[in-house]
Structure 1
Amino acid sequence: MPAPVHAVLVARSSTAAAARLERALDAIRAQSQSVASLAIVVRGDPAPLKSAAEAANASHLIAAPERTGFAGAVELAMERLPEGHVWLLDDDSVPEPATLAKLASALERQPSVAIAAPKLVRAGDRRRIESFGVTMTTTGRTVELAHGEYDQGQHDRDDDVLGADIRGMLLRSDVALALVPDRAMLGADEGLDMGVRARLGGRRVSLVPDARVAVWPPRQTPLRRDYTRRVAQLHRRLAYASSLTVAPKWIALLPLAVWATALALLAKRPGRVAPEWMATFTVLVRLGSISRSRRRVRAFRTGSWSQVDALRLGRTQLRERQQASEDPRRDNPDRLEFFSGGGAWAVLGGLVVSVAAFIALLTWPAIGGGALLPLRHGVLALWRDALWGVRPEGLAEVGPADPFSAVVALLGTIWPGGPSFALVLLWLLAAPLAVLGGWFAATRFTARPAARIALAAMWGLAPPLWDALAQGRPAAVIAHLLLPWLLFAGIAAHRSWTTAGAASILLAGVLACAPSLAPAIGLVWLVGLAVAIGARRRRIAHVVWVVVPSIVMFAPLAARQFSRGTPWALFADPDAADFVHGSAAAVAGGSVNPDGWEALFADLGLSWTSVWWAPMLLAPVALLALTAPATRKTWLAVVALAVAAVGSVTAVVDLGARLAVVDGVRVPVWPGSALSLAWLGAIVACAIAIDGVRRGRRPLAVVVIVCAALAIVPQATALHRGDTPLHSASDTTLPAYVSAQARADGEVGTLILTPLADGTVAAKVVWGTSETLGGASTLERTPVDVSEDDEAVAHLAGDIVSGSTLTVADEVREAGITFVLLRGQDASASAQRVVALAAQASMDQRAGFVRVGETPHGVLWSVVDEPAARGGMDAGETTTAWFTGIAQGLVLVVALLLAIPTRRTRDQARQKPRLIGVQNESREERTR
């Protein structure tokens, strides 16, 4: 005689609970095989459901706490049920009329079957399978055997599986109590766990394709869903582990969480990071639940794990399933065509122009002049300067490094054998690299080769870039090279985590090189965030993340600047130096130093005026850009012109902002970086205008490229004419004697005295082999209040220059200084020469110093006795340094993991158009 069937129906008490319960009860009453008894478990207040339960003649109405899970509710009911098969349902399950009969028949026909599982279909579309069989990989990861597919009977032959969704399961009477669902799973993988335990007990799970149950998706937030799934997976790993391995696996939970976090970021699923750590800490403390689950496994187990392993998915099978489920549409509607479209020729042309302009650099070991300084000799020293700690300039200054120091460290790491030579390579390759970045940026706006080449060439011939190259501004050059890549990634940041991660790194690099661009780029970011909120609400996190690394990298420096009352100093140039510039009107017109034409004409023996040449040559670019809004890409053109206007205004403001002090003189912020932003907006508008015309694209492209090329003639020929501060240099700004000793002992300190034209002396202390580009600090160059170290250095310099009778040598030695260097002076400045001679005479007469001699860098003295050790960081400062370094490192690692493309993200990118703001155009129209 067939065993009776007892149904357990788990319901939630809510405003819609009665309707859901009535729907489920109607489906149970409609079964062709009736149930022997019905137990209803209500999670929450049972009062709203009491009348429906009484009308259904429920044998039990059980009230459970609201937070009770499905497994806990079933466990309460099974304690009160008589012997028989147990049918598990919830109020979101609607079985078809023949479902129970089919399930019961499967149990009766196959005595080895402990659990009969129906085919779950979607209530809204019963043609789609919601779940039909579950298994796991060799590492314990849950895999749905069928989910989201149209039901065409393709899985109906699958009978023996490892587990199934718990909803609609029918448990055989003799194993029902032993296979009660485990409430430690928190509602995930309960059916899989029951199937594993059944398999270990010599029984199995059978799928019944003719038994169908319509289900609604569980009402869970993504955070809750990912959390419960991960808790279930980690809990099963410990519950199934052998006695010898359970302790090591429990200890390995935290390292495993770190590894899983890295994989989640690499897979561009940062939403899984928080659930991963929440689940890890949950499982770590639930030792009682783990012990209870292990007892349940042991109590029913009669066989070995080989019975379970036979139904797991191996790597090969898992890969085959993933490939079969991938979308076969891989064609990108926009082909890159870098070689066939002329991009490679444009880059080659940029290289030819660069070598012609800077051919002398091919014989230089290092480059100097302007704001250029050597780089540290070793890679470790480069990165040490980029960390929070004791600064390489000052007596015992402890504080944050400028973010630009990390950029310098990365640049020097490219050429570890001689980091300073990386600057020579930067100068030689700046133009072709700019062309390359401009070409890729153009692929976001146009598919036509003429427009792409025009934008790429104009970016490589940008006057701000060549002004920076001619005047020795490394930070501005790097910012110019990064801007088009920031545009390329940033404008598509809403599409994927890959582009958002890349844009976040590039933005941090751009702002590190040009902090003055922060207001302008911040305004653009706010507009992008507003668009994301209004149009793409699911992608807000992508856009928000773009600024996170920049905020974290600048946070220590910002905290120090705010604490000393100099917040505006955050916008100071990291490579501050005085420079030649034109008027504000000339700068707004697009050139930092339009007077370069006057020097060019003078060298050619011409007396032509130079005022109108720069604006006249750039006028065609401006006029063409203004016509861009008349094309089909109106909103893109308007945004590009707005960026150009914001950049131009920022350049004028920068010229009036004198934030840094160099050799006793306040110098303005370099406006070239803002002009690079303005130029980028203008040439994007030009490219859009060229893309929009039907005929004459090539002549228009040629005209604007020629105009841009003519506009940079003064800067491109400046090195040949000697009209530039650039010169061949060594890898140190200190005498070779100091550099050699510092290489043996890195803590060698040098007091540098520089006589100024106004009769004063600039003094600073440098540690190591040289003043370096990465060791310079905006904190030192943007002071308001004089610190104790500044006062100490000033007193030492004053005593030396004034010829004081005080024993200066003792003070110098106590400060840890080994050498005193008096820099050379300009013979035409009498006041400067007088101060230098007085300082030199004073030092020659003092006891405690030995004159080393005159060097190309100035007159050098050495302290006779052994200097004291330089002061370091105390315990609090060391803690701050570690915390800051770890926080910044973690954020950068996260950004890098997000930015690294994977096969899945590449496949997704191929299915999306590269162009922004334009729907798919036919290939014929794009290539006309």
Structure 2
Amino acid sequence: MSPRVTAIVVVHSGHGRDGSDHLSGTLSALAAQTRPADRLVIVATGAPDSVLDTARGFAPTQLVTAPDTLPFGQAVALATRSLPDLDQDELLWFLAQDSTPRPDALRVLVGALETAPSVAIAAPKVLDGQDPSMIASFGQSVTRFGARVDLVSDEMDQGQHDHSSDVLGAQATAMLVRASVFRELGGFDPALVSFDGGLDLSIRARLVGHRVAVAPAAAVLDHGDGVAGPRRDTRASTRRRNTRLARFSQLHRRLVYSPAWALWLHWLALVPTALVRVVVALLRKRPETIAAEIGSALQAAFSRQRLGEARRRLGRAKTVPWSALAPLRISWSEVRRRRRLRAEDDVPVIASERSALRFFDGGGAWVVLASALLGVALVVPLLGGGYLAGANLTQLSGSIGELWRNAGFGWRDISVGQAGAADPFAVVLAVLGSITFWQPSAAVVAIMVAALPLATLGAWFAMVRLTERSAVRIVGAILWTVAPPFVVALADGRLHAVLVHLLVPWLFYAGTAAARSWTAAGAASIIAAVIAASAPSTIPVLLLGWLILLLVSRRGVGRLLWTIIPGLVLFAPLVWTQGVRRGAWLSIVADPGLPANNVTPSGWQLLLGVPSGDGLGWPQLVQGGALPDVIGSLVLPVAFLPLAVCALASLLQRRVAIAAPLLLVGGVGLLSAVVGSHLFLTIFGATTVPIWTGSALSFYWFALILCAGITLDGWRRGSAGVAAAAAVAAAVAVVPVVVTIPTHTAALTAADGRGLPAYVSAAATDDPDTRTLVLRPRGDDTLSAVLVRGEGETLDRQSTIVATSHIATEDEARLAEIAGNMVVASGADTAADLDEFGIRFVVVSQLAAQQGANPAAVAAQSTQIAAVLDANAALSAVGDTDRGVLWQASEAAVSQPVPTIAAPLRAAIFIVTAVVFLAALLLSAPTVSSRRQAELHPRSIGQVRSVESMTSEKRMRRRDRAARRRHRADRGRRATASSTRERRGRPTAAAPAAAPAAIGSTDEGSATGGVIGAARAESASSPSEDAAEERSRDDRPSEDDARDPAGSAEDAPVADATASTADPDIADAPTDAEGTAGVGTTAAAAADTDTHAPDEARVTAAPGSAEEPAALTDAPADGDTPRTGSAPEASANDDNETNGEER
């Protein structure tokens, strides 16, 4: 007598994401079963009234409702509690609203349990409801660490797995379970939502001594609503949710299955393991899984109640040791093999053209070498002292610890000091100084020496994005190297402007690929943050470029959003201090570094891209000579005319869609320079100076060069002469500035690394808190007083908070009062005044406090001040030094305590910044996979291609999909044909087959354990047959194909030549975390020769497969060892040989 079957249907919304009525289809299919269910129980949790009305229309035995949406396992438990009269031999069939069974599904499942009493759970073949020809899930297993492995998934169903039977587990969708076993096991684990519920139930059934089998003839369509199994759609939110649930299910099962002595070890390792996996996810360019990794680890760590219940449930029922399940697990070698095959299968059949880089044979290396020689000739003569100084350049602190302390949030120990955020540029300096940790200032010297070749190299690679012509790349590199903003910044010693100029080309190179590559997005985010930190006035240009990329990119919005995150984190403390607390929002864009006397250039000089007000020295050079003075003013317009003409002509080229945004960015760069020249923010002496315009003009010049490159690339005639004229004219224009560097007339000079007299530096070596009062006469009976700590001013200690503070603080006013009392005869207590600020030394500097001061007046004022200080009893004269006249306090000064900032706040800012930039660094690290993906795209952007050489991206994607479908179909057809030949008893040329291997055996002499072996053979179909099959699968030729018959005809041979003979069971199966594995048993191989391909199609057949598929019957009495049928599988040697030939 057939047992009673109770069908339990769990309903949530009743509809799919697309609005389709899945519940009606499921209930209709249930009513149409050839072997109908005896009872129907519908569990509607959180379902609307319309769904309840639909359920009532099918007259269920019971309709159980719940106001809130419950997971599948909890809904099933609710249904079973409403059925107190369950028979001992009753069967439970678990369905979801989107599980549509084929008419004979229940009959086959019931038959599987009736013919094999030891089988407690029978699972159907789950097909994709959107494409019933594809298998969604067919059996599951686990790795040694418990990661779920779908044995068959996302594979075309052609009967190649119809010999499978015993498995470790299966998806919960439509599985048929004996009611007695289900009650013995305690039902589904309520902690498992839509992942691993069926697998966990199957494993517990195995541990009780029962078998779990799959019934290939029973098919159920799953539409992917996410009720009983994972939700299937292409949305990013769904992928993140599935990743989180899958990882939590794995961790939860690991904690449940672990022995008591290892439980705490696993629990303690949850968060550290999650952090390691986060790093791996960043290296694999999968940052979208970070939240899922951390969230699932925390969820698993703090769900102790459910964990305890699950462990008690398992402990009460378990009677079989874990070792009995070992043959059904997946070995690491099998996981690696499947990963390798999957990676090979992920390579598109049709790829884009990618030209050679031609850096050496195209002349790029020679131009870089020439720039390097020029840079060495210019800067090396200045290295006598080992350091460099300039307009706003000085040495760095002597230790890495000091560098990083100055880069953090806290006390800014400059002059009298202020509390607040460090400049973002201080972080850049700390990183640079850490590279040459033995001498932090050496990194600055190295950058200034290598600036010319680095600029040439960056510009050459930037031109790679626009043109394939080597001559145009070289011209662009030369123009960028001799750009006036760069040459002037180098001669003035403006490190921040030099860094901006060096990084702009690389930002363009990485930014243009950021939408499609996490590697490029990570690199672009770091470069953009460094540029913004070095020159905050360029932030408007950076934001405009970012917005343009967002508008023109159809995908990769998340990657583009990431590119601004590091910059926002880096500037957040400064924005809080300057903007929110002080209300000085414009001060955020002030230049970092030492305050310098920036001269405001005229409007026409800015239009020419010249940041200095002296016309690059040409007016002074011509003045007083034989030529008219007007010639000096005309040199620059004439020299830059070819570049300007070529840049504007880009609007008439075919790639105007690229040229127009570039010119827009360049225009904003010019506008930023104009606005910056009128923003007087930084205090220099007694005046305020404007923002340095050179950094914004670098963007302006870069846009002009790129647009000129577009024009020259489009001109095939006469472009060489125009390019040479533009390069030579631009190089000649900057000659007066270049020659000032080796002739020691530029602001960039050699330095010995000391800002104070040697006597003070020696004392500061022993006591870094030594404070020195530096007095600089102005020549007009006023002076400047600066309090310096340690060996002198350093670049990393500078702060725009102090430099842009136009209102003196109480301490600054008090210091000015003390300085005034010291330089005149007064009755003030100098000793007490010095002790108030911990001043140990006083220096009257030989340098004037402001440029343009009368030297004679300054000298007279210095002499007067020296006489007053000599008469001061609180000071003892040390003498004249190379830095000025020095006095020392007669009484030892007491070191003043530095105000402390909340340590947790400082640490939190540092940790957040470090984590964000570490993530960006890991994302930017190139990997084999990222390089392979990059090679699928052309180097140049917006390149116009002929129809013959390159099809459109849309056609390429369509052809690739068609080739993949044909690829899978060919493998499945070969496997099915080989299986059919074996079942018909086709003679083989090999020795008799060996005895069947144990389930999941990993013996080297047998086939790989736990794998459904499918026959591997080369397809005997001709290219014409493949082409016909592609046309039938692709419905009809597209318009592009109709216009390009040659392109359509090439599809068949391309796909056929690249087809892989990888195992159809695994090649396309996506994995959860550990890869995929097959089901059932495989046996030692016996070769079979395909008469259609005698040299290539050597296949193996499993014993017993020549007759009929093995039935789901009990094993002999010596144990419940399952007897399973298995499909044939190719030998490893054949696999390697065939794949090698195809590649």
Pick the TM interval, shorter chain: over 0.9
Pairwise mapping of residues 55-74 of structure 1 onto structure 2 (< 5 A)? 56-74=58-76
* Cα RMSD for the two superposed structures: 2.7
> Which residue matches 2:867?
841
Query: Partners in 2 of 1:418 and 1:54 — Cα distance?
Result: 81
Return 911-920 or 478-487, whichever deviates more. 911-920
Q: Is the 8 A contact 1:584 1:655 kept in 2?
A: no
Provide the secondary structure at the position in 1 that maps to 2:201. Answer: helix
1: CA distance between counterparts of 2:419 and 2:907?
Answer: 13
Secondary structure of the 1:898 match is helix
- Give yes or no for the alignment of 1:333 onto 2:353: yes
Deviation at 1:390, TM superposition (A): 2.1
When normalised by structure 2's length, the TM-score is 0.77
* DSSP-derived class of the 1:625 partner: helix
1:874-914 Cα deviation digits (max 9, x unpaired): 4x533332232222222222222332233333332222333
- Match for 1:585 among 586, 597, 604? 604
Match of 2:279 in 1: 262
Are residues 1:910 and 2:935 paired? yes
2:748 corresponds to 1:731 = no
Report the counterpart of residue 675 of structure 1 in structure 2. Answer: 697
Partner of 1:687: 709
Q: Does 1:232 align with 2:249?
A: yes
Is 1:574 paired with 2:574? Answer: no
Counterpart residue identity of residue 914, structure 1 = R
| CA separation of 1:260 and 1:663: change in aligned 2, threshold 3 A | same
CA distance in 2, matches of 1:143, 1:304: 21
1:374–1:770 CA contact under 8 A, matched in 2: no
Number of residues of Structure 1 aligned to a counterpart in Structure 2: 921
Instruction: Give 3-state SS (helix, strand or coil) of 2:902's partner.
Output: helix
Counterpart Cα distance in 2 of 1:728 and 1:703: 35
Deviates more, 1:474-483 or 1:266-275: 266-275
Mapped pair 1:181 → 2:191: no
Q: CA deviation at 1:166?
A: 1.0
Distance verdict in 2 for CA 1:636–1:47, change over 3 Å? closer
State, as a whole percentage, how many aligned pairs show the same letter. Answer: 37
Change (3 A) 1:255 1:870: farther
Q: Which amino acid aligns with 1:633?
A: R
SS in 2 for 1:659: strand
Q: Does 1:891 align with 2:896?
A: no
Deviation sequence 1:683-737 (CA, Å, 0-9, x none)? 1101111222233444343232222222221122112344312221112212222
Q: CA deviation at 1:256?
A: 3.3
SS, match of residue 802 in structure 1? coil
Q: Distance in 1 between matches of 2:592 and 2:915?
A: 24
Moved more, 819-828 or 688-697: 819-828
Tell me whether 1:853 sits opposite 2:853 in the alignment.
no
Q: Taking structure 1 as reference, are residues 371 and 291 closer, same or farther at Cα in structure 2, changes over 3 Å only?
A: same
Q: Deviations over 1:322-345 (max 9, x none)?
A: 222232349663233323333222
Over residues 560-596 of structure 1, what are the superposed CA-to-partner deviations in whole Å (9 max), with x where a residue is unaligned? 2222232111111103311456423212211123141
1:7 aligns with 2:12: no
Tell whether the 8 Å contact from 1:825 to 1:833 is kept in structure 2 after alignment: no
Q: Report what 2:303 is aligned to.
A: 286
Counterpart in the other structure of 2:857: 831
Range with bigger deviation, 631-640 or 902-911: 902-911
Aligned counterparts of 1:919 and 1:107: Cα–Cα separation in 2: 64
Matches within 5 A, 1:252-651: 252-326=269-343, 327-329=346-348, 333-335=353-355, 336-361=357-382, 363-532=384-553, 535-536=554-555, 539-562=556-579, 563-575=581-593, 576-580=595-599, 582-593=601-612, 594-601=615-622, 609-651=631-673
Alignment check: 8 A CA contact 2:390 2:749 kept: yes
Distance 1:371 1:126, change over 3 A: same
Q: Contact 1:595–1:610 at 8 Å: present in 2 too? A: no
Change (3 A) 1:316 1:485: farther
User: What is the alpha-carbon distance in structure 1 between the residues aligned to residue 203 and residue 611 of structure 2?
Assistant: 73
Tell me the equivalent position of 1:121.
Answer: 127
What SS does the corresponding residue of 2:181 show, helix, strand or coil? coil
1:171 maps onto 2:177 in alignment: yes
Q: Which residue, 190, 213, 221 being the options, matches 1:206? A: 213
Q: Which amino acid aligns with 2:727?
A: I
Q: Residue 775 of structure 1 corresponds to which residue in structure 2?
A: 797
CA pair 817-133 structure 1, distance change in 2 beyond 3 A:
farther
Q: Which residue of structure 2 aligns with residue 38 of structure 1?
A: 40
Cα distance in 1 for residues equivalent to 2:659 and 2:169:
57
Residues 873/445 of structure 1: CA separation in 2 closer, same or farther (3 Å cut): same
* CA shift for structure 1 position 164: 2.0
Q: Which residue of 2 aligns with 1:796?
A: 818
Comparing 767-776 with 801-810, which one deviates more in the overlay?
801-810
The amino acid of 1:724's aligned partner reads A
Distance 1:51 1:776, change over 3 A: closer
Contact 1:178 1:296 survives alignment (8 Å): no
| Preserved contact between residue 514 and residue 673 of structure 1 (Cα < 8 Å) | yes
Report the 3-state secondary structure (helix = DSSP H, G, I; strand = E; otherwise coil) of the residue aligned with 2:796: coil
1:812-835 Cα shifts (integer Å, max 9, x gaps)? 223222222221145952332233
Comparing 689-698 with 505-514, which one deviates more in the overlay? Answer: 689-698
Over 3 Å counting, the alpha-carbon distance change for 1:111 and 1:840 in structure 2 is farther
**Paired residue type of 1:168:** A
- Of 19, 25, 28, 2:27 maps to 25
2:131 corresponds to 1:131: no
Question: 2:423·2:800 contact (CA, 8 Å) conserved in 1?
Answer: yes
Q: CA deviation at 1:315?
A: 4.0
Kept after mapping to 1: 8 A contact 2:385/2:753: no
AA of the residue aligned to 1:274: A
Give 1:75's aligned amino acid: A
User: In the TM superposition, what is the alpha-carbon distance from 1:444 to its structure 2 partner?
Assistant: 2.1
3-state SS, counterpart of residue 126 of structure 1: coil
* Inter-CA distance 763–673: structure 2 relative to 1 (3 Å threshold): same
CA contact (8 A) 1:435 1:456 kept: yes
Letter in 2 for 1:323: R
Deviation (angstroms), 1:131: 1.6
Moved more, 684-693 or 73-82: 73-82
Aligned residues of 1:758 and 1:831 also touching (Cα < 8 A): yes
How far the C-alpha of 1:776 sits from its partner, in A, is 0.9
Alignment partners' CA distance in 1, 2:258 and 2:76: 26
Q: Which segments of 5 or more consecutive residues in structure 1 lack a partner in the other structure?
A: none
Give CA-to-partner distance per residue, 1:445-493, whole Å, 9 cap, x none: 2233222222222212212110101111111001111111111122222
Shift of 1:430: 0.5
Distance in structure 1 (CA, Å) of the matches to 2:601 and 2:58:
90
Read off the aligned partner of 1:302 and give its amino acid letter. Answer: T
Per-residue Cα deviation, 1:102-129 (whole angstroms, up to 9, x for no partner) = 2233333444433222221111211122
- Mapped to 1, the partners of 2:708 and 2:49 lie a distance apart of 71
Query: Structure 1: which amino acid aligns with 2:644?
Result: A
Distance 2:798 2:360 in 1: 41
State the 1:854 CA deviation: 1.8
1:319 deviates by: 2.9
Does the C-alpha gap of structure 1 residues 745 and 115 become closer, same or farther in structure 2, counting only changes over 3 Å? farther
